[in-house]
Structure formats: C-alpha cells, structure tokens
Structure 1
C-alpha cells in the first residue's frame, strides 16, 4: 500500500497543475493555526491540507466522542483518542507531506501568544462563546499584524445561502449567519457546519493568495 502513495514532488506537480505554480507556492509556504478541532476545525484542516497549505498548527484539548461523528472528520474507530492525534492521522492519509504541529491543551490567555506566534493566519473554530471571545480579543490585542478568521452562527437547518463571509476589519474576517445559536433550534447539522468551515478555509486561501476583499 505504501508504494501507491505519490511522492512529494508528484503531489506538488498535481497541485500546481490544478491551482497554478505561483498560487501554490503561497500555499506551500504558509503556516495556519486552527484553534479547536471539532465540526469547524476538523473540516477546515482537511480543506487546507487538500489545498496544499504547508504547515498546520492543530490545537485542542478534547477527545473524540460518539456525538462528534455526525459532523466532525473522525472515524468511529477513533472514539476516545485525542482529537489532535486522530486528526493528524487522518490528515496524513490525505496529504502525507503536510507539516503538522499539535498542541493537546486548552487555549488560555496565558498560552495563546506562545501557541500562535508562528502562524501567518489564525482560524477560530471553537464551539464555546467564552473561548471564542477570549481568542478574538487575544489575537486582536497581541497579533494586530496577523490575519484572523472566525465564525459566528451555523446552527439549525436554515438556508445555506445565509452563511457568508464578512470583513470586520482589515485583517479580521467573520464567517457564518451571525444569528443562529446551538440552543435555539435543532442544534448543529453536519452540512451547515461544513458550509461555515468551507467559508473559513476559503477565506484563508484567499488571504494567502492576497485576495483580501470579499
């Protein structure tokens, strides 16, 4: 089976053929941090790995649970494992040459700077309002030069067309419908969570391509 895996050069050439050599070089040379590896983060990570982003920093303290499987990029066989470990395994099957840096820890005001200092772009992918606020405030205060992509509102079975990306400040983008809350409706539905994750991942790629306006 190992013999069937393309070489690094073969994968690079395939990506360059699809996405262009210049654009692909921007992706290859980038480092993106993903804060939270649930429904948003696991899907963001897979999209970025498939696009050929060179390095991903994966941060989460939690373990895979059976309730995660309907919307997160894990397997039933991975229940009980740390999400950082399980997602790394899955990403390496998809993009064997992506560089991964994992931190199995809860993000706090005390460790956020150390965890994110090497990232070119930071993705917020938490499902907790306090954690979202902490990360947003910390990034805006400590890393005003970095690009920050966050999410707000993706719950329920509402229209896919209400999920959108908005530019909040020059380096801060917010994805989602901006309204829905997990407690207000039927909760998180796989397809709508994936839509929001795709918005985040695509905004990251646009930033790396120097396409900043949306």
Structure 2
C-alpha cells in the first residue's frame, strides 16, 4: 500500500518546492471525457493537482477503447464514474467533482464559474461553441484551453499550443478534425491531450503562452 505521505514525497522529488506548492492548490475543470479529456484528467491526476471537475454525459463503449483511457471491464459505465475509478488507482487523495450531463448555455456559468482553468475536450463543434462562448463572454475569471485538430497520422510536430485570445488557448493542428475521411489514433490524440494538460499546468504556475 502507498500512503498519501509517500505519494507526496515522490512528487516533491520530481517537482521543485515552488512548483509543488502551486500545483497542489491547482483546480481544473475537464469538459468532455473522451479521447482528449480522459487522458488530460489522468495526466493532471498524476501531476498532483488539488482538484478536478469532470464533465460528461456519455457511457463507455467498445468504440472508445482505441484512444480513450478506459478499459474493457468499464464498458457500460458512466464516463464520470469510470474516470474516477481510474484516477483513484493513480491518486486516490485528490478532490474530484463530477457532472453527469450536457453542458448548455443555461448551465455553463453555474458549472464552471468556480474553476480558473477549463480544458475543453468535446467531440462536436456545437458543444465546443457553447463552452467557448460561455466562458469567454460570461466567466471573466476563467481561462479556456480548447482542442482543435488531432485526427489522422500527420506529423506530431504540427500539433501545437496557440494563444488565440487573452483567455483562450487552442491545442492541435487546427486542420484535421474528426471526420469520415480521417483516422483517429491514440498516439496523436494523446499528443494533443498532453498539450492541453501541460498548458493547464503552466497556467496554474502563472505561466502564459506568448
């Protein structure tokens, strides 16, 4: 068994005291728990942030296994429950809050207002637009990190993090979205997830993309 003290000790061996102090107080919302969001959440859990707010309405099915963090025994589970189960196996001491439902124009402000950093990881343009517009127009204390363009087998180097507005960052290649003509692979989706998670960490640390 691993104690909380041992877990924290191992983090402090790999993070400077200043970084560890900030990260252990970091709170991040992850909206969408598919290929991007499930992996973003696990990366942040391994990093040792204080709290995650996990949002999705869906359940785990076989089509998710090629790129999402879930396992075969979790098929049929709500994604909010399944990702909590995985996180607890990595970092059982962090605070977790979930919302099992859809994000709408009516609830976006209430759901995300407490969170200074929000990772957008939705599949559809409509859902992305609701969250982006809601955060930018109605949540002045929050910064949004969005994903756009991670499909195909194109060069990893095309995926990048760009600052689009003062409170909006976009990760991806900006071109190759989900479609019937593009493949989806765990590798490229995870690269984009890593960009979102790393930008969330940088924001917690007070860093910004130029």
Q: Same fold (TM over 0.5)?
A: yes
2:199 aligned partner: 203
Does residue 39 (structure 1) correspond to residue 42 (structure 2)? The answer is: no
Whether 1:150 aligns to 2:149 is no
Q: Deviations over 1:91-113 (max 9, x none)?
A: 00011111100111111111111
Q: Secondary structure at the match of 1:100?
A: strand
1:27 lines up with 2:23 in the alignment: yes
- Is 1:81 the equivalent of 2:55? no
Summarize deviations over 1:134-189 as a string: whole Å, max 9, x none: 11000001112211100111011111110000011222110000001221633311
Q: Which residue of 2 aligns with 1:64?
A: 60
Residue 178 of structure 2 is matched in structure 1 by 182
* 1:196, distance to aligned residue in structure 2 (A): 0.3
| Counterpart among 49, 54, 71 of residue 50 in structure 2 | 54
Q: How does the TM-score come out when normalised to structure 1?
A: 0.95
Corresponding position: 1:119 with 2:115:
yes
Do the aligned partners of 2:56 and 2:79 also contact (CA within 8 Å) in 1?
A: yes
* Unaligned 5+ runs, structure 1: none
Paired residues of 1:155 and 1:185 also in contact (CA < 8 A): no
SS at match of 2:98: strand
Q: Give me the TM-score of the superposition, normalised by structure 2.
A: 0.97
Determine the C-alpha separation between the residues in 1 that align with 2:68 and 2:8. Answer: 27
Check conservation: 1:35, 1:41, Cα contact below 8 A.
yes
Deviations 1:32-84 (A, max 9, x none): 00000000000000000000011000000000010000100001011011000
Shift of 1:21: 1.6
2:190 corresponding residue in structure 1: 194
Count of matched residue positions in the alignment of Structure 1 and Structure 2: 210
- 1:102 is the counterpart of 2:102: no
RMSD over aligned Cα atoms: 1.0
Gaps of 5+ in 2: none
